[in-house]
Amino acid sequence: MLASGNPQWQGAYPGEPEAREDIARREAYLLEIEGIPLGVMAVNDQMPAEYDSLPWQTEGKAYTIHRLGIHSSLLRKGYAAAMLSSAETIAREQGGTCIHIDTYSPNTAAQSLFRRLGYRQVCSFHMKQKPLPYIAFEKSL
């Protein structure tokens, strides 16, 4: 991400501890083709504390997509859209009424993808001691 000018993830996050936790909670999802991993995400009904004060529009049980990542050589091939669609199905099957997701404001590619797939921008907010805001998105299911 940093090589493409997006400083959202730096250092060790997300890393092995987060992956192990997602797997242990059965919230990790891997996109693979012919045994080759292409992307990963976590989907659950747990929200970061910063989400508590955001002006969400959809009532009911919200699911959040965390740590969505696609291998850098495979960007813009539809894999992230496929994973988001899968996350929506997972949430719907578990009684979810909406999906929440955020991205660091310099990540304009993710913002464009979310909008194209029907996610509505809710607001900007700060977290994780980052100097720039994050952008929160929501999609009703």
What confidence tens digit (pLDDT) does each residue in 106-126 have? Answer: 999 999 999 999 999 999 999
pLDDT band at 23 (very low <50, low <70, confident <90, very high): confident
What pLDDT is stored for residue 8 in this prediction? Answer: 58
Q: Is the pLDDT of residue 87 over 50?
A: yes
E-strand ranges in the chain read 28-33, 36-44, 62-70, 98-104, 120-125, 134-140
pLDDT score at 7? 54
| C-alpha to C-alpha distance for 28 and 67, rounded to whole angstroms | 10
Could you tell me the pLDDT band of residue 129, with boundaries at 50, 70 and 90? confident
Averaged confidence pLDDT in the chain: 88
Indicate the pTM of the whole model: 0.85
Q: Which residues pair with 103 in a beta bridge?
A: 135
What average pLDDT does range 12-41 have in this prediction? Answer: 84
What are the residues whose beta carbons fall under 8 Å from the beta carbon of 115, sequence distance 6 or more?
A: 121, 137
- Is residue 16 predicted with pLDDT exceeding 90? no
Q: Which fold would CATH assign to domain 13-140?
A: Aminopeptidase (3.40.630)
Cα dist. 131→96, 109, 126, 128 in Å?
Answer: 32, 19, 8, 9
CA–CA distance, 56 with 140 (Å, rounded to integer): 10
Residue ranges of the domains in the chain?
13-140
